[in-house]
Every structure is written in C-alpha cells, then in structure tokens.
Homo-oligomer: A and B are copies of this chain.
Amino acid sequence: MASNGKYGSHPYAPSAPSLPESYGQQHTQYPHGYGRPQQQHNSSSSSPQYSHGYGQPQHQPYGSSFSSSSSSSYGQSGFPAGTDPAVIRSFEMVDRDRSGYIDEHELQQALSSGYQRFSLRTIRLLIFLFKSPTDSLRVGPKEFAALWICLGQWRSIFERYDKDRSGKIDSMELRDALYGLGLAMPPSVLQLLISKYDDGSGRRVELNFDSFVECGMIVRGLTDRFKEKDRRHAGSATFGYDEFMSMVIPFLVSYN
C-alpha cells in the first residue's frame, strides 16, 4: 500500500507505513491520502497546515515490506525473507503449540520482548487491523513481521515528537505525531481524540506509546475505511446504515 504513496512523505516528517495489504477487505488503491498533510512548498515550514490537501505521491522504500509482502519469499518459518531473527524468535517463543498463529495474549507477550506490554485493548485493535481478512482474531508470521516493522516506525515517530523525552506526548505533540504519520486532523477532531484519554484528574492529558498506537491506529483505520467509500476522492462518502454500523463498531470499546 505504501508503495503507491498513499502516505507519502511531507517536508518535515517521514510518511508512516501503511497498514498491510490484508487490511481492508474491499481496499481500493488511492493515489492520495485523506487527512493527509498538504504538501508545503516551504520545506522549512514547521507549522502543519490542517487541510486535506493533496501532494504528489512518493515511493516509500520501507513501505515495500508491506506492499510487496504478497510476493515476498518465505522460509519454512513462514516469515518474509530477511526478517530479523529476533522477530522470528519473539513469535516462536509464544507460539508454543507451533500452530503458526498467535492469539491476543500471545501477541501481547511477543511484543513485550521488543517493545512493551501493550494493553489488551491496543492488542485487539492491532490484530483487527493486521490479521488476514479471512482469518479469525489471530496473526501468522507474515502479519507479525509487518506489525513489528510498523510499530518500530511508529515508535520512532513517537520519540521524535516526544520532544521532552517524557515517554508521553501531549495534545500538541500528538497533533505533530499524527501529522508525522501523514494524518492531518482538524483541531476539533484532535480535541475530541485527546479528550478520550482524559482521566478526569484535571491534569494535562498525555499519551504513552500504548495509547498513541491505539489512538493513531484508530484514526488510520477509520480514515482508510472512509477512503474506501469515497471513490470519487471528493472528501465525502455515502454509507448505508448496516454498512456504517459494521464499519464503526470494530473500532469501539472492547472488553478489558
């Protein structure tokens, strides 16, 4: 997906990796992305323009780990050729029954070795977005490798915008980080988003990496779904009632 420049880079941040091919059963290829930061002619500009401008798509080399995954060669392990052995070890360590698939608790444990212990809520969202459409709530080697690389790139973007190195980002840093992911959110939407993480203590809302991934994946997932319906790239889409409910519900609350 990234190879079509869907989340092409912009002046001061690299584009985010796209979700894997497996995401979005009726996925439509788009030359441009929604909510994508407008290409800025002044490359030194540091003030994101929160419009839905369209920039020239650019090929993203690292995107190929997703976009060409279907044509990658696989070892006996089922991992794409060239997968970091540490990633394969993390997967095999938790896939005790050697089924070739890991469930939510196993994924939570596997990611802990490379990143951190994500909440089950975030884990479930990641599985929903990365699993094969035809699969149940589990991921195989190919999806796990794609997820691992994606999280690495999101981690680097999180760290770039966590300017004070607090391990948390505030609303302005979130705005910039989402922008870094190629998602330009209007202030009103950003405000709604950040308010979901307000613990009611009156303290300034800050997101750790777990919440940032959850938050960013929700925005990315909903944006991709919307795009699939906006076939004319008009910035608006029409949904039937059942279609609307079926599209939104997977992103809603889940048991935890």
Contacts and interface: CB of A to CB of B under 8 A. Distances in A.
Interface of A: 34-35, 52, 103-105, 120-121, 185-186, 188-189, 192-193, 196-200, 214, 218-219, 222-223, 226, 230, 235-242, 244-246, 248-255
B236 A237 contact: no
Contacts of A239: 226, 236-239
Given A193-B249, A222-B245, 15 more contacts: A105-B200, A121-B253, A185-B245, A188-B246, A189-B246, A192-B249, A192-B250, A196-B254, A197-B254, A199-B255, A214-B253, A218-B253, A226-B244, A236-B240, A239-B239
Contacts of A249: 189, 192-193, 196, 218
A251 B254 contact: no
A223 B235 CA distance: 22
Q: Which of A52, A240, A245 has most B Cβ within 10 Å? A: A245
B103 A241 contact: no
A104 to B, nearest CB: 6
A236 B238 CA distance: 7
Q: Which of A222, A226, A246, A255 has most B Cβ within 10 Å? A: A255
Q: Which 6 pairs, one residue from A and one from B, show the smallest C-beta to C-beta distance?
A: A238-B238, A196-B254, A192-B249, A189-B245, A236-B240, A197-B255
B255 A196 contact: yes
A237 B248 contact: no
26 contacts: A34-B241, A104-B200, A105-B200, A120-B200, A188-B242, A188-B246, A189-B245, A189-B246, A192-B245, A193-B249, A196-B249, A196-B250, A196-B255, A199-B255, A218-B252, A222-B244, A226-B239, A226-B245, A230-B241, A235-B241, A237-B241, A237-B244, A251-B252, A252-B253, A253-B253, A253-B254
